[in-house]
Amino acid sequence: MPDLLIRELPALERPREKALQYGFECLSDSELFAILLGSGGKGCSALTLANLLLKNFGDMRQLSTKSINELRSIKGIGLIKALEIKACLEIARRFQQILIRPGDMMQGSHQVFSYYHEKLRDQKKEKFFVVLLDCKHRVIREELVSIGCLNVSIVHPREVFAAAIREAAESILLIHNHPSGDPTPSKEDIQVTRRLVEVGKLVGIEILDHLVIGNGCYISFAEQKLL
């Protein structure tokens, strides 16, 4: 049976008309993507193309982790459509993300996790952040120290403490993610943290905690008494 174009569907089965009549919350994921795509490929409706995307890549969260080239592997998805999909999903990710701002007071590991979970949970590489704090545990700013596997050569005390010394920070928080989704600290995580704690004692800047962010979960070095 040939694929029906959207204009050939009954009016209230067309994604745009359905959204206008009932609201966007009534649309399925594929109908939302069909509106975003606007048109399909040769002999393929936007709705069919949207269903094909979700069938091949899973749900929206999984889709958001795919590269431009991976999206373009689907027949009917060219460079422009791939860019539009990535832009839309990035907007959604940023909307969910709670931004850390100067002056915010850090009051525990769960609060830190709430700031960094959406930012880091789907990253394919490890990212190591340092948050600089004043004497009242208020945020001065954050610093991205490294991208890549965590080891002593990448996360050097010089990079970790340089900004903290420059900004006269009283203490710092360490945060990094595990792309696997499992936040269990590795041997390298523990070695790097212990080295940084010792350097912190020498320069007079306390490391309050080191959080490892996983998929929907985290490990706090302070809570696990690993500092």
Reference 40, options 75, 70, 71, 69; nearest CA is 75
Give the bridge partners for 141, in sequence order: 132
pLDDT at 11 over 50: yes
Taking only the tens place, the pLDDT of each residue in 79-105 is 989 999 999 888 887 777 777 888 999
Give the H or E element holding residue 86: helix 79-96
- Give the pLDDT confidence score for residue 5 in this predicted structure: 55
- Give the pLDDT confidence score for residue 22 in this predicted structure: 86
Reference 71, options 82, 62, 80; nearest CA is 82
pLDDT at 120 over 50: yes
pLDDT at 9 over 80: no
User: Could you give the domains of the chain?
Assistant: 6-96 (1.10.150.20), 109-220 (3.40.140.10)
Beta strands in the chain (DSSP E): 127-133, 139-147, 171-177, 206-213, 218-220
- Give the pLDDT confidence score for residue 153 in this predicted structure: 45
> Which range, of 24-33, 42-51, 181-190, averages the lowest pLDDT?
42-51
Give the global pTM.
0.69
Question: What is the number of other CB atoms lying within 10 angstroms of the CB of residue 12?
Answer: 10
Taking only Cα atoms into account, the Rg of the chain, rounded to an integer number of angstroms, comes to 23
